[in-house]
Amino acid sequence: QVWLVESGGGLVQVGGSLRLSCAASGLPFSEYCMGWFRQAPGKEREYLGAISWSGSSQYYADAVKGRFTISRDNAKNMVYLEMNSLKFEDTAVYYCAADRHIASMYNLRSDYWGQGTQVTVSS
């Protein structure tokens, strides 16, 4: 069984930083692209970005480009989302996902999803 477990969410002040982690198990991690998404109350799920299976390529949505960075450690089956210069509108539940095809994630499709971790940005 595949598990994706996010951690690192919490309460952070505007302008602050937070690093989310996603631990993967039950899949050949180094063969999967990994992505991050979020969903704010009353809004649809939003693609944030993705990283290739090797980690050599990263892609970001315009809303977070330059503020968020995705990285991965294939030896630890981990993927990370470093978030800087956080804004009120970054408040959401954040999800990681895994798929063999990175293009799928851009279309909000993925083979596997985590349960999410809450990020709240406050003043």
Q: Which residues contact 66 (CB under 8 A, 6 or more apart)?
A: none
Q: Which residues contact 101 (CB under 8 A, 6 or more apart)?
A: 33
Within the chain, which residues score under 50 in pLDDT?
none
Instruction: Report the pLDDT value the prediction gives residue 108, as an integer from 0 to 100.
Output: 87
Q: Which tens digits make up the pLDDT trace of 103-121?
A: 889 888 899 999 999 999 9
